[in-house]
Amino acid sequence: MACEIGNRTVLKFDTEDGVAVALARYIADLSERFIKEKGSFNVVLSGGSLIDTMRYLARAPYKESVDWPKWSIFWLDERVVPLDSKDSNYRLAWDGLLKYVTIPNNQIYAINDKLSPEGAAEDYEARLRDLVDRRILPLSDATGFPSFDLMLVGMGPDGHVASLFPNRPQRYEKKRWVTYITDSPKPPPPRITLTFPVINSSSEIAMVVTGADLAGAVKDVLENPDSDLPAAEVSAQGLLTWFLDNDAASQL
C-alpha cells in the first residue's frame, strides 16, 4: 500500500519480509538508473536492522544482476570502535552484504578506526572533500553539500537518525559535513555522523522502519507537522520514500 504524507511517499507492507523484498527491488532499480545516467552509484548505509532488511540483495537474482563494481559505499554514521568489533557498522555491513558482492575494496569508505572521534570525523570529511575535488562525488547545486545517490536511513524509538539524537547539539550542525559525538545516549558512546545538510542533499532517501517499538515515533514524524524528532528533519533533493511494515505503521 502506498500513500503520500506531506513530501513523503509512504509504502506499507504486511511484514518485515515484505519490506525486504520491496527494498531490494527499489535499490536495484535505482542502481540501474544511476549507472545508466552517470556510470556509478554512491550508496550510504546505516547500522541497526537495516543491513538485515537488505538481505535479498545478496541473493539471486540481484547478486548476479546488479552492477556491483560501479557501486561506492559510505556510512551515515559509525561507532568509533575497531572495524572488526561487533559494534562496528562496517562489520555489520560486511557480514550481512559486502562480503557476498563484488564492490571493489577501494570503493568501500570505512572510517579510520585508529583515530579519536574528533579525528575520525575530520578524516572522513577530508576524504569526502577529496572525492568531491576529484569529481567522484558531486555537490548539490541546491545546497553546496555533497550529494549521494541513495541514502538508506533507519530510525530509533526516540526518533533519532544517524547519530543525530534528540537533546544533543550535533543535530543542529549546519556547516560541517561530518561531526562526532562522545556521549551518545545509545552505546557505544563515541561515534561520527553525517550532518543534516549532507543527509538532505541526497538525491534519493529511503527511510526503512520496521517493528512495533517504532510505531510511536513513526506516527509523530508522519502525522505531527510540529514534530521535534530528528527524523522529521529528513528530506531529499529527489524522493523521500518510507518503507514500513504493519507493526511500525500500526498507529497511523
Residue 43, domain CATH: 3.40.50.1360
Structural domain range at position 185:
34-191
pLDDT per residue over 56-113, tens digit each?
999 999 999 999 999 999 999 999 999 999 999 999 999 999 999 999 999 999 999 9
Structure confidence at residue 2 as a pLDDT band (50, 70, 90): confident
Confidence (pLDDT) at 56: 98
Residue at 215 is within a domain:
no
Contacts of 142 (CB under 8 A, 6+ apart): 201, 237
Confidence (pLDDT) at 3: 82
Residue at 114 is within a domain:
yes
Quick check: 94 and 61 in contact, CB under 8 A? Answer: no
pLDDT at 173 exceeding the cut of 80: yes
pLDDT at 37 exceeding the cut of 90: yes
Residue at 243 is within a domain:
no
- Looking at the 3D structure of the chain, how many domains does it have? 1
Q: SS3 of 68, please? A: helix
pLDDT at 31 exceeding the cut of 90: yes
Structure confidence at residue 1 as a pLDDT band (50, 70, 90): confident
Residue 142 burial by Cβ neighbours in a 10 Å radius (0-12, 13-18, 19+): exposed
Residue at 154 is within a domain:
yes
The conformation of residue 77, written as its DSSP 8-state character, comes to E
Cell numbers at 219, concatenated: 506516527
- Output the average pLDDT for the chain: 97
Residue at 227 is within a domain:
no
pLDDT at 7 exceeding the cut of 90: no
Residue at 214 is within a domain:
no
Sign of CA dihedral 107, 103, 87, 246: positive
Confidence (pLDDT) at 85: 97
- Give the span between the Cα atoms of 95 and 33, in whole angstroms: 27
Residue at 74 is within a domain:
yes
Structure confidence at residue 6 as a pLDDT band (50, 70, 90): confident
> How is the chain split among helix, strand and coil, in percent rounded to 5?
35, 20, 40
Q: For the chain, where are the E strands, in sequence order?
A: 2-5, 8-13, 41-45, 71-75, 77-79, 150-153, 178-181, 191-194, 204-209, 239-245
Structure confidence at residue 5 as a pLDDT band (50, 70, 90): confident
Residue at 136 is within a domain:
yes
Supply φ then ψ for residue 4, to 5 degrees: -105, 125
Confidence (pLDDT) at 244: 98
pLDDT at 168 exceeding the cut of 90: yes
To which H or E segment does residue 156 belong? none
- Give the span between the Cα atoms of 44 and 206, in whole angstroms: 10
Sign of CA dihedral 45, 89, 250, 227: negative
Structure confidence at residue 131 as a pLDDT band (50, 70, 90): very high
154-173: average pLDDT: 97
CB atoms within 10 A of CB 102: 11
